[in-house]
Amino acid sequence: MSILELKGVTKRFGSRQALSSVDLHLPEGSSLGLLGPNGAGKTTVLRLILGLASPTEGRVQLQGLDPEQAESRKGVGYLPERVLLPGRLSVRHFLEVHARLAGLEAGAVADEVKRVTEQVGISDRLSERISTLSKGLAQRVGFAQAFLSRPRVLLLDEPSSGLDPIGMREVRDWIQAVHEQGCSVLLSSHLLSEVERVCDRVAILHEGRVIEEGKTSEIVHDGEALEDAFIRLIKGGPSSQGVGES
């Protein structure tokens, strides 16, 4: 069963065509990497999945439901590209509020906040105001929020952006760990090595179209690095690939 599906999705913003006939699916328990150059449409895909925007044409389903139905987001963890956190709140306060919003009973909140902050290594920063945290620590708070309530589906938009190499490695490890526990993952990223490590399959978006989709081993040619395959496909452009229009 697909936990997430886009069928023939087109999105126009005025005269700008952000997505054209996009088909994507994420089988339950699997992980899909969404790759594409700047402006390819990756964030738009995530926004449509979350019901933050509506498709101009086509159909989006999350957990078998239309994203307009709030129920579709139950058990879904999301980390946006730019995490906007309320700087005046302490880490604890922020996560407690979100734990309640995620549906946890009051009595279970403290343990859950402890669990997720230990998971991302910030359990010693709970009383600090978010505004005083470094970028990397703030990103960890974003991850802790996404991990609340052990999501069935994780939607991640460039989760490693701005992190140092150690932070990037940790992000990869966290995603891998939740994926191994059965969580389905959609990961939008510019880091090909991250996608290669974490994802079962990769979809490459270019100018709003899926120009390639498959296992990494199916996308790369003999001995080629994923980066070289990516550049080859992007330079070929959507018109020369002709994939993703079905």
Q: In this complex, which beta carbon is closest to ligand ATP, that of residue 45 or of residue 76?
A: 45
Going by C-alpha positions, the residue among 70, 35, 32, 29 that lies closest to residue 51 is 70
Q: In this complex, which beta carbon is closest to ligand ATP, that of residue 44 or of residue 63?
A: 44
- Compute the least distance from the CB of residue 124 to ligand ATP, in Å: 32
Interacting residues toward ligand ATP by CB under 6 A: 13, 16, 18, 36, 38-44, 81
Report the amino acid identity of residue 43: T
Q: In this complex, which beta carbon is closest to ligand ATP, that of residue 26 or of residue 102?
A: 26
- Compute the least distance from the CB of residue 203 to ligand ATP, in Å: 12
- Compute the least distance from the CB of residue 219 to ligand ATP, in Å: 18
The answer to whether the CB of 36 falls within 8 A of the CB of 238 is no
What SS3 class is residue 51?
coil
- Compute the least distance from the CB of residue 43 to ligand ATP, in Å: 3
Q: Helices in the chain by DSSP H: which ranges? A: 42-49, 91-101, 106-119, 135-147, 165-180, 192-198, 216-219, 226-241
Q: In this complex, which beta carbon is closest to ligand ATP, that of residue 27 or of residue 37?
A: 37
Report the amino acid identity of residue 236: G
Q: Which residues contact 180 (CB under 8 A, 6 or more apart)?
A: none
Cα 39 from Cα 21, distance rounded (Å): 16
- Compute the least distance from the CB of residue 108 to ligand ATP, in Å: 35
Cα 209 from Cα 212, distance rounded (Å): 9
Going by C-alpha positions, the residue among 65, 62, 30 that lies closest to residue 47 is 62
Q: In this complex, which beta carbon is closest to ligand ATP, that of residue 64 or of residue 162?
A: 162
Cα 3 from Cα 12, distance rounded (Å): 25
- Compute the least distance from the CB of residue 176 to ligand ATP, in Å: 23
DSSP 8-state code for residue 55: -
Tokens of 226: 């994923």
How many residues are there in the chain? 246
Q: In this complex, which beta carbon is closest to ligand ATP, that of residue 133 or of residue 142?
A: 142
